Chains A and B, each alone.
Chain A
Amino acid sequence: MIAFSVNGEPREVTVAPEVPLLWVLRDHLGLTGTKYGCGIAQCGACIVHLDGQPVYACVTPVGSVAGRQVVSIEGLGAGRIGAALQQAWIAEQVPQCGYCQSGQLMAAAALLTNHPQPTDEQVVAALDRVLCRCGTYNRVRRAVHRVARPPTKQA
């Protein structure tokens, strides 16, 4: 049995420790907001926060999260930054098909937690790990800046 916290709730699962966290969330805990897109840490659709840091759930063995805090898209809105990002996403009308957006939001939230006022380069670098086939990158970027409101450059 492996015990860890998901979105603030204690959870226990009886699976082999090498099973990726992605499939534990989706198939065992019914949290389908975290998506499968590649399974090899290439697309970012599966990004969740592990103790506040973004990780690819598809390559994170569930055994390695024992005793730790996982936050998935379903829990994102409970935090101030997460809720603000969700609002900004709607304001910028970011999602198209929406499939990548959990990963986009989780990557953005981790960035803003670590860098509340990121430069544009930092925003692009953080988002570069999440693929969007529908082409929402510019709106994602605008939405992140909308929350970060970086100080306007002094001439």
Chain B
Amino acid sequence: MTAPVRIDRRAFLRLGASGGGLLLGLQLPAPLARWVVPAASAGVGTAMATPAEFVPNAWLRIGSDGGILFLVARSEMGQGVMTALPMLLAEELGVGLDQIVVRFAPADPAYVNIRIGRQLTGGSTSVREAWYRLREAGALARTVLIEAAAARWGIIPATCRVERAQVLHPDGEQRLDFAALAVAAAALPLPAAVTLKPAAAWQLIGTPAPRLDSPDKVNGRARFGLDVRLTEKAVACVVRCPVFGGRLRGFDADAVEGLPGVIAVLPISSGVAVVAADTWIALQARRMLRIDWEPGPAAGLGSAALRARSAARLEQAGTIVEDQGDALTALAAASTRVEALYEVPYQAHACLEPMNCTADVRADGCDLYVPTQDQGGAQQATMEITGLPAAQVRVHTTFLGGGFGRRLEQDFVREAVALSKALGRPIQVVWTREDDLRHGVYRPAGLNRLRGGLDRAGRLVAWQHRVVAPSILARVAPAAVADGVDRTAVDGAVDLPYAIPNRQVQYRQVDSPLPVGFWRAVGTSQNTWITECFLDELAAAGGRDPLALRRTLLQGRPRHLAVLDLAAQKAGWGAPAADGRGRGIALVDAFGSIVVQVAEVSLQAGVVRVHRVVCAVDCGTVVNPDGVVAQLEGGILFGLTATLKGAITIADGQVEQGNFDTYPLLRASETPVVEVHIVPSTEPPGGVGEPGVSPIAAAVCNAVFAATGQPVHSLPIRLRA
């Protein structure tokens, strides 16, 4: 980038007119009165109350009292947006992270995620979407503040610069605080275009920054949804039909009504709610309800029957999603053919904070206090139930005790809003762990048939993959599957980076009584396992080393090769593994990033032990390096739970698991050493919240394959005794 760092307003306009500058497409802020800004957490800075503010855009307010407020419009669910997004704005504005107050933004069209078209946090998009927008927002404010200072001094703006929330006079002596310039800046017109700092001038981007939420997350002060405390609040627990798709016939609350602390028992669309003075009373009373359910068509269904349904679909042709060359002819002509069936079970998100929402519905408006990934959806659901206009539905986002896609749903919001509306008081709906695991939306179970063919020289010439799985989009956006294809079900199966000349991928939807949803890394979380494991089967059939085969298939893709080679080198690929151990490698190109992982495993008494995972990533320009490392570490362990531990299974239309004793998560003693290596890049940022999840199952299973000669065809890994 050759753009100048400092530039005066006339020059901007010139640049803007000639297309050399970055045009601003910022929406101006909603009226300030509508901005109810909840404290992101008690300890981050001081509250602001000043009438004289410079509000250049929806993300930033600079007060004449010295307060600088950043509004973070994405949900902090552990992935570090509360730090990474302010870094982008602060970089261009010219302030330190220690000089700002950060709050979560309300629901407002100004905060729509332009990569998704809705105000939500998902798809590993937060930094990618903000990359230009927030830097432009910061640069715009800086430009105007410099103009205000230059006007006061009677000098040319281009001679001034900013540093730590001050504009510096070229004499090296005089300086003006942003606070002192706020009122003057507010009176100036906003420039039409600004120029961003060149990378060489960055002071924050690329330098590890401690997370702004860490202090409150080590002393108990961080406020999650379950920690919301309002006066007059009552707690509700809901009994939902244990069988998917069932409905309420009737209930008997005699044993409960009149118990001390029980406020109300009432039916709502999801079941029967017990509303009580506190959580324990609600939980105890809930157990005493007698409910008559009409179980519906799923009664009697079990996992084996659902699998049989998918197996039948697998014998039928699916809709062709990707078709390159002529896979069928190439398969028929291949000198070596490999065929395999890969199977993944349902998985739950199991966010450590169970679902919850606090709603306060009144005649003149509603306040929602909710750990949500989808402020727009929460507002919409509330409007539907209450009939209130958007402006009167204020969404206060708390910290999220995990999200992983589960908090894109509105089931818990609807419950709280309906109950608060019915009872005319603030209601906190609290889900137990059992509620959470039994009434989730699940990662779709899938059945996959793969066929591959090698030619006489051992080259991979043919690839066919048929995916059979329930559709997420059929539930949440039916119009998107009109052509019979759910793109989320084939992500990671199509558009592989490998040069395979003849390739066909098909998708076939299968109905399921379980609602399926977005689960961290979505389609790539399972399809990467399948494709990368099958690639190793083909490598073995052709007598090729798995790394060497991938290198061959990635010729002409230097970014992929660099990540592959870095991971292989750091993992000691090629040197023999210790006795009884195997190494496996897997790659994904997803969410704008390339991730390669090498796992080293051993088998002890039929149990897979993962000793070490080496991960290399090219995620473009890195904003907060330690944040990237943490996301990849976390993604690997999240994926390991699905690789090694449990699954969601069904009996009689109901989830069989209920808590962490039957749906275990990876524990500290099962955690491998994890190393993350970042490939330097000047490309725009890629996502990192999800792609770390995608390759780990394949890396581990390929390591098991290397150690035992037995490919793993279903998850979680269950070795034959």
A interface residues with partner B (beta carbon < 8 Å) = 19-20, 23, 26-28, 30-40, 42-43, 45, 72-74, 76-77, 85-86, 89-90, 93-102, 105, 124-125, 127-128, 130-141
Contact = CB atoms under 8 A, between A and B. Distances in A.
Interface string B154-179: 00000000000000000000000000
A99 B402 contact: yes
Contacts of A30: 229
B352 A77 contact: no
Interface in B225-270: 226-227, 229, 235
Nearest to A36: B226
Given A125-B669, A130-B668, 13 more contacts: A19-B280, A33-B219, A34-B220, A37-B353, A37-B354, A39-B432, A72-B220, A86-B218, A90-B215, A93-B210, A133-B402, A135-B638, A136-B633
B412 interface: no
A133 B226 contact: no
A74 B214 contact: no
Given A30-B229, A105-B218, A134 B634 contact: yes
A135 B641 CA distance: 10
Given A33-B219, A39-B432, A137-B671, A96 B634 contact: yes
Given A37-B353, A131-B660, A138-B633, A98 B222 contact: yes
B77 A137 contact: no
Contacts of A132: 352, 637
Nearest to B83: A93
Q: Which range holds the interface residue count of chain B?
A: 35 or more
A4 to B, nearest CB: 17
B280 A74 contact: no
B78 to A, nearest CB: 3
Contacts of A130: 668
A23 B219 CA distance: 19
B633 A135 contact: yes
A85 B220 CA distance: 13
Pairs A-B, 10 closest by C-beta atoms:
A33-B220, A135-B637, A99-B401, A96-B78, A97-B78, A98-B217, A73-B220, A135-B634, A32-B227, A95-B217
A124 B671 CA distance: 10
Contact of B223 (A20, A31, A32, A36): A32
A32 B352 contact: no
Contacts of A105: 218
Interface string B322-351: 000000000000000000000000000011
B54 interface: no
B431 to A, nearest CB: 10
Contacts of A43: 352, 433, 660
B129 to A, nearest CB: 20
Contacts of B668: 124, 127-128, 130, 137, 140-141
Contact of A95 (B214, B278, B351, B673): B214
A40 B404 CA distance: 23
Contacts of A94: 214, 218
A72 B635 CA distance: 30
A76 B401 contact: no
A138 B665 contact: no
B98 interface: no
B400 interface: yes
Contacts of A133: 350-352, 402, 404, 638, 665
Contacts of A31: 220
A74 B219 contact: yes
B651 interface: no
A125 B638 CA distance: 20
Contacts of A99: 224, 351-353, 401-402
Contacts of B674: 138
B279 A97 contact: no
Nearest to B627: A93
Contacts of B287: none
Interface of B: 76-80, 210-211, 213-224, 226-227, 229, 235, 278-280, 350-354, 399-404, 432-433, 626, 630, 633-638, 659-661, 665-669, 671, 673-674
A97 B353 CA distance: 9
Contact of B279 (A23, A77, A102): A23
A74 B219 CA distance: 6
A77 B219 contact: yes
Nearest to A91: B210
Q: Counting chain B CB atoms within 10 Å of each CB, which of A38, A124, A135, A138 scores highest?
A: A135
Nearest to B280: A23
Given A98-B78, A137-B637, A27 B278 contact: yes
Q: Counting chain A CB atoms within 10 Å of each CB, which of B214, B221, B227, B433 scores highest?
A: B214
A137 B640 CA distance: 13
19 contacts: A26-B226, A27-B235, A32-B223, A35-B224, A35-B226, A35-B401, A38-B433, A39-B432, A40-B660, A85-B218, A90-B210, A94-B218, A96-B634, A101-B218, A133-B351, A135-B671, A137-B666, A138-B633, A140-B668
B666 to A, nearest CB: 8
Contacts of A131: 352, 660, 665, 667
Q: Counting chain A CB atoms within 10 Å of each CB, which of B235, B278, B635 scores highest?
A: B278
Contacts of A36: 226, 279, 354
Contacts of A35: 224, 226, 352-353, 401
B211 A95 contact: yes
B400 A97 contact: yes
B669 A100 contact: no
A96 B401 CA distance: 9
A135 B635 contact: yes
A36 B236 CA distance: 15
A148 to B, nearest CB: 15
A42 B663 CA distance: 11
A141 B671 CA distance: 11
Given A26-B279, A93-B630, A98 B667 contact: no
B218 A90 contact: yes
B120 to A, nearest CB: 17
A79 to B, nearest CB: 13
A72 B221 CA distance: 12
B219 A128 contact: no
B694 to A, nearest CB: 15
Contacts of B235: 27
A145 to B, nearest CB: 13
